[in-house]
Chains A and B, each alone.
Chain A
């Protein structure tokens, strides 16, 4: 099946710094990628939809200036957590739709990034 690579898998940073997380589709082109946030023992909360070549679409309540998303190519989307604070500590997961334009395409998930802000 399709592979989505996410890096880094774990990052610890100081409060006030910015952290970039990369999400790559390795063997397929992903025009759309999704960024989720997951708190311990909770479900996946969609943060934003990343569209190649255009601005990301953010879900209600998600600060677009806080979570910068760039989808510069068909295989790469990045999420930058700017001026990170301890409350931003969480598990961030990206996913990509399978090829095709059907609305029922399944998602392939990256392995996730555990962000800890001190």
Chain B
């Protein structure tokens, strides 16, 4: 079955620095979604990428979908304490499958 892998599992960042987290799927995805879960909270939808090579920005967050639609990345610039949390990528394994498979997540902590 489909596997969605994320690296790194943990990211400890100095406030103000940039970092990138990566998501890789064993199968081609029709789309990829990113969610953020704050400590003690529930996952919240951030963005969805559909097109091959697509790049979307949300303020300091840049999301990219790979050309082969099997990988994605999230890049955060000038990290702030509000960026703390776990970032999950998720995607449906096939064109006709609406179920999302979630990666293990990248847990981000920030030191001031």
Contacts and interface: CB of A to CB of B under 8 A. Distances in A.
Given A44-B102, A97-B98, A110-B42, A104 B92 contact: yes
Given A42-B104, A43-B105, A44-B102, A104 B30 contact: yes
A44 B88 contact: yes
Contacts of B99: 34, 46, 49
A41 B88 CA distance: 12
A116 B88 CA distance: 25
Contacts of B105: 42-43
Interface in B35-82: 35, 41-45, 48, 50
Interface in A79-118: 93, 95, 97, 103-112
Nearest to B47: A106
Q: How large is the interface on A (under 10, 10 to 19, 20 to 34, 35 or more residues)?
A: 20 to 34
A42 B105 CA distance: 8
Greatest chain B CB density within 10 A among A1, A104, A110, A111 is at: A104
A93 B88 CA distance: 15
A109 B102 contact: no
B88 A106 contact: no
Interface string A32-50: 1010000001111010010
Contacts of A112: 42
Contacts of B100: 34, 46, 107
Given A44-B88, A111-B42, A106 B33 contact: yes
B45 A106 contact: yes
B96 A103 contact: yes
Nearest to A42: B104
14 contacts: A1-B45, A32-B98, A44-B43, A46-B99, A93-B42, A103-B92, A104-B31, A104-B48, A105-B98, A107-B33, A107-B35, A108-B45, A109-B35, A112-B42
